[in-house]
Amino acid sequence: SMECKMVCLWVLYSSFDVILSLRPTYPFYVTQLLIKMTSHSPMDIQRLDTVCHNDNTVDLLLLSLGHVGRFSSRSLIGHRVSNKITPGLLSVIFLTGGADNAGGQAMIWWLVPLSGRGQISMCQSILTSFIKSPKGHQVIFALQRTMSYSTDEVLLQTVKNKGIITLNRPKALNALNLSMVRQILPALREWEKDKNLVLIKGAGEKAFCAGGDVRAVVESSLKKDKLGQDFFKEEYTLNSLIGTYHIPYIAFIDKITMGGGVGLSVHGKYRVATERTLFAMPESAIGFFCDVGGSYFLPRLGGKLGLYLGLTGTRLKGGDVLKAGIATHYCESSQLDQLEKELLDHGNSSADVEKILQTFSKPVNDFSLAIYKKQINQCFSAPTVEGILARLQDDGSDWATSTLATLKKLSPTSLKVIKKLIEEGSTKSLQDCLAMEYRVACQFLESISDFHEGVRAVLIDKDHAPKWKPATLEEVTDKLVERYFAPLPPDQELVL
C-alpha cells in the first residue's frame, strides 16, 4: 500500500539522519529511489506528512521532488503554503544555493504564503540567523555527515565522518576511466584531513572493478590524443596516494577485481575478499603489462607466485585471494552490508577498524595453488622467459603443460617486459615502481604496439586472434625490452 511505501521511505530517511543537502549540479539518487516508491500525487505528500510527523523530512521530500522536476512549484505550495516555514526547510534552501541568489529567492517566493511575499528580506534574515545559531550548525553538521555528491560514474558520500566511494559503472563492470580518477583523487586528499576512514566498493552484481578503460585509451592514442598519458599518470598518482594513506582505507573486493581495480585496492591497508571475488592481472593477454603498482606488490607475494600470476594472468577465486596475500580479510558476501554498517557506526579509530574486520573474518580452505608451489618456484625462477618455457616443457605435468600452452598464446613483448618489471620492482618503493611503470606505459602508447592489437582482438573486434609483433620470444631482444624502460623527457616523468 502507499502507506507502507511511505513508512519505508521514512525509515530510509531516518536511517540516514535525514539528508538535508541537495546539490543542484548533481543527481540526487535517494530522490530517484523515492520517486519510484511514490505515485507523486499531492495525496501522497499528505499521507507522508501524516505518517512521519516530521516537518524537516517532509520539507526535504518536497524540495527534492521539486528539484528533480516531479512537482511544480505550485504543486508544492498547494500542500505546504498553509504550514509553517521550518528551520529545516530554510536550511535546505540555504544549502541548495542560499537565499541570496536567484534560485534561493525563487524558492522562498513560492514557499512563503501569499500574505508574506513582501517580506522576503525578513525570511533571508531569519535564515541567516538560524544558520549562525547552534541549532543551525547542528542541522548542517547532521546534513553534511550524510551528504552525497555524485555523478553517474562515481558516488562519493560521507556518513558519520567516514568517506564512501562507490564505483558506479555496473554495465561496464565498473571499469575505471579518467573522469572517475579525477573525482576520486581529490576526494581522497580531502577526506584524509579529517575523516575516520574511507571505504571503497563497486555497484552492481558483477564487479568491484574489472580494470581500466583501456579501450578508450587505445582508441584515443590511435588519434594521437594524449588521453592515455593523462589517464595513466593520474591513475598511478591515485595508486600512490592509496599506498601512503594515513587513515584506514578499506576495499570491498567483492566480485571481479582485475587490473585497475587491483590498483584501487591492493595498496590500501585493508582488502576484504568474499566467496565471489575473482582476482587477476590479465594484461599480458592484451599486449600490455601488470601496471597500477603490479611491479611492487607481485614480487612481494612470496616465492615466484607473483611472477607466475603476472605472466599467465591466472585467476584466483574467493579464499585463494586471501591465501595469496592479495586480500587481508575474508568475509561472506551476505555479511558485507552488516560489516559496512559496523564500520560506519563504530569504526572511529584504526583499532576499532581492526577489531570489526577481525570479527567478520571467516576461515578459508587451503590455497588451491599450494600443491603447485614447488613447481611454480622451480619453473618461474629461470633467468629468462625462454628458460621458464623450457622448464615447463621439461616438467611435463598436466599443470606445466597447461601453463605452457597459456604462455605461448600471450604477447612475447609483454611477457619479457613483465618479467623485467617484476624483477626491478622487487627492490623499489611503490612510488619508484609507479614512475617506472609510467615510462613503460608511455612507450606502449607511442606507436602501434601489441597493446593496440591486443585490445582490438579482445575488446573491440573480439576475434581473440591477436597478431603479435614480434611474434616470437627470440625476436624480442634485450635492446627492444630496454627501450620500454627508457627515461622520458624531464617534464613528462611521473613525479610522486
Q: Do the domain assignments include residue 99? A: no
Q: Do the domain assignments include residue 390? A: yes
Grid cell digits, residue 329: 580479510
Residue 157 has pLDDT above 50, yes or no: yes
Residue 60 has pLDDT above 70, yes or no: no
Which has the higher per-residue pLDDT, 352 or 10? 352
Contact at 8 Å (CB) between 42 and 75?
yes
Helix crossing, 120-132 with 87-95: angle to 10°? 90
Query: CA–CA distance from 472 to each of 282, 412, 415, 427, 484 (Å)?
Result: 19, 6, 11, 29, 18
Q: Which of 366, 386, 357, 380 lies closest to 475, judged by CA?
A: 386
Give the pLDDT mean for 316-323.
Answer: 97
Query: Residue 488 carries which DSSP code?
Result: P
Q: What integer pLDDT is reported at residue 334 of this predicted model?
A: 95
Please indicate whether residue 291 is annotated as part of the active site: yes
Residue 290: domain span: 154-485
Give buried/exposed letters for 176-193 (b at 16+ CB in 10 A, else e).
Answer: bbbebbebbbebbeebbe
Q: How much is the pTM?
A: 0.72
Which has the higher per-residue pLDDT, 80 or 228? 228
How many percent of the chain have pLDDT more than 90? Answer: 66
Which has the higher per-residue pLDDT, 136 or 146? 136
103-114 pLDDT, tens digit per residue, is 333 444 334 443
Q: Do the domain assignments include residue 253? A: yes
Please indicate whether residue 259 is annotated as part of the active site: no
Query: Residue 316 carries which DSSP code?
Result: E
Residues 6+ positions from 182 with CB-CB distance below 8 Å: 234
CATH number, domain of 202, equals: 3.90.226.10
Q: What integer pLDDT is reported at residue 448 of this predicted model?
A: 74
Q: Do the domain assignments include residue 372? A: yes
DSSP for 59-107, written as a single string:
HHHHHHHHHTTSS-HHHHHHHHTTS---HHHHHHHHHTT-TTSHHHHHH
Local confidence band at 134 (pLDDT 50, 70, 90 cut-offs): low
321-362 pLDDT, tens digit per residue, is 999 999 999 999 999 999 999 999 999 999 999 999 999 999
Q: Which of 163, 212, 263, 294 is catalytic?
A: 212
Residue 151 has pLDDT above 70, yes or no: no
Local confidence band at 486 (pLDDT 50, 70, 90 cut-offs): very high
Which has the higher per-residue pLDDT, 77 or 444? 444
Query: CA–CA distance from 248 to each of 308, 439, 473 (Å)?
Result: 30, 30, 43
Determine if residue 422 is left, alpha or beta; phi over 0 gives left, psi from -120 to 50 gives alpha, anything else beta: alpha
Q: Do the domain assignments include residue 426? A: yes
Contact at 8 Å (CB) between 78 and 114?
no
Number of Cβ atoms within 10 Å of the Cβ of 428: 16
Determine if residue 261 is left, alpha or beta; phi over 0 gives left, psi from -120 to 50 gives alpha, anything else beta: alpha
Grid cell digits, residue 276: 565471489
Whole-number mean pLDDT of the chain? Answer: 79
Which has the higher per-residue pLDDT, 442 or 144? 442
User: Poorest-confidence range of 104-118, 248-262, 415-429?
Assistant: 104-118
Contact at 8 Å (CB) between 309 and 302?
no
Which has the higher per-residue pLDDT, 392 or 85? 392
Q: Which of 49, 213, 283, 340 is catalytic?
A: 283
Q: Do the domain assignments include residue 142? A: no
Q: Which of 66, 104, 228, 260 is catalytic?
A: 260
Q: Which of 323, 329, 387 lies closest to 358, judged by CA?
A: 329
Residue 200 has pLDDT above 50, yes or no: yes
Q: Which of 44, 291, 320, 450 is catalytic?
A: 291
Give the pLDDT mean for 157-184.
Answer: 94
User: Poorest-confidence range of 33-37, 276-280, 392-396?
Assistant: 33-37
Residue 76 has pLDDT above 60, yes or no: no
Q: Do the domain assignments include residue 101? A: no
Contact at 8 Å (CB) between 197 and 163?
yes
Q: What integer pLDDT is reported at residue 125 of this predicted model?
A: 52
User: Poorest-confidence range of 33-47, 168-182, 407-421, 465-479?
Assistant: 33-47
**In the chain, how many domains are there?**
1
Q: What integer pLDDT is reported at residue 223 of this predicted model?
A: 85
Q: Do the domain assignments include residue 492? A: no
Please indicate whether residue 260 is annotated as part of the active site: yes
Residue 99 has pLDDT above 60, yes or no: no
How many percent of the chain have pLDDT more than 70? Answer: 70
The two counts, helices (H) then strands (E), for the chain are 25, 11
Residue 39 has pLDDT above 90, yes or no: no
Please indicate whether residue 283 is annotated as part of the active site: yes
Residues 6+ positions from 462 with CB-CB distance below 8 Å: none
Q: What integer pLDDT is reported at residue 27 of this predicted model?
A: 30
Residues 6+ positions from 324 with CB-CB distance below 8 Å: 279, 301, 305, 309, 316, 367, 369
